[in-house]
Amino acid sequence: MKIGIIGATGYGGLELIRFLHNHKEMSELHLFTSSEEGVSFSHKFGHLTHIVDHTLQKIDDEQLAKLDVVFTSTPAGVASKIMPTLLHTGPKLIDLSGDFRLKDRQLYTQWYKKEAADEKALAQSVYGLSEWNANKIKVAPLIANPGCYPTATLLSVLPLIKEGLIDATQLIIDAKSGYSGAGNKPSQTTHFSEANEGFSIYKVNEHQHIPEIEQSIAQFTDVTTTITFNTHLVPMTRGILTTAYAPLVGSATEQSLVHCLQQVYANHPFVRVITDATTVNTARVKGSNYCDILVRVDQRTNRATIICAIDNLVKGAAGQAIQNMNIQFGLPETTGLDVVPLFI
């Protein structure tokens, strides 16, 4: 396959390159830029010297149309200007930004503070939650890759909501992320002197992933709800840990919740339902496309605690994007992604 990446110099782009480099079906890789045309990629990123010495190319629709797959790993509001002109010109399109996730254009403008994508292009986009939407992903001309927080949240709670085991109308999610989720552009928030030795909450009740999670719960479970969702920054480079709380429904037990998760993900190689440990750690999925889920029930409160860990740059971004590409081309989902987590 001939593959192109727009936005390759960001963390998501770097991770796409890392995994695609060992993807057995990739024959060509093209890296596109809006501002650094002609620059050697390995000159910018010395760790890729003699590995990825590609020259950054100008974004050109004619060149992009010759490819089999185009990934956009760009800031919000950029892909929505690029993707519509590429639709049905040849390549499969996979967007890692949030531009095509929300089907309600007014909702996108409200939460992202950006102009929404073209209505026709948005109508053709498919939400790329790999384990839940594979049938539509297979035939999609444009995939809206899920956000990192929604990926962890949805994978851990969707089975339990769909089976009526937890009350989604009282769902509370506490989410924590490493600083790579903020991208590689320096800011006061991510400055080492202010980020190190600190633990902060941000976008209180205002995170743009809230409507994405609510929309997906409705899409995959037919349950309409509003959630309480808040995000925190942890002084580490990568990783996401979400902790969801919800009351049990009827006679649901911890055993029935665990069984439900095991049944749903029995044939999904990247989701691991943890039963033989008392904790979940982001280090155990670091650098990999794995998703670890642990569920516990507090009998005193009759409430479930559902914990999920992913690498925000892999399962939460580039890894899931490649997993979706594999689904589109009829390849095993693990192709190019079957790596051992880094852990240390």
For 149-313, CATH number? 3.30.360.10
Burial class of 53 by CB neighbour count within 10 A (0 to 12, 13 to 18, 19+): exposed
Tell me what pLDDT residue 159 has.
Answer: 98
Tell me what pLDDT residue 35 has.
Answer: 78
Q: How does pLDDT run across 154-184, given as a tens digit for each residue?
A: 999 999 999 999 999 999 999 999 988 766 6
Verdict on whether the full-model pTM lies above 0.85 = yes
CB atoms inside a 10 Å sphere around CB 201: 12
Q: How does pLDDT run across 83-120, given as a tens digit for each residue?
A: 999 999 999 999 999 999 999 999 999 999 999 999 99
For 2-145+315-328, CATH number? 3.40.50.720
**Torsion angle of C-alpha atoms 314, 318, 321, 323, degrees rounded to 10:** -50
Burial class of 266 by CB neighbour count within 10 A (0 to 12, 13 to 18, 19+): exposed
Tell me what pLDDT residue 186 has.
Answer: 67
Q: What is the mean pLDDT of the chain?
A: 94
What ranges do the domains of the chain cover?
2-145+315-328, 149-313
Spell 305-338 as b/e; 16+ CB within 10 A means b: bbbbbbbbbbbbbbbbbbbbbbbbeebebebbbe
Catalytic residue positions? Answer: 148
Q: How does pLDDT run across 34-83, given as a tens digit for each residue?
A: 778 888 999 888 899 999 989 999 999 999 999 999 999 999 999 999 99
**188 pLDDT exceeds 80?**
no
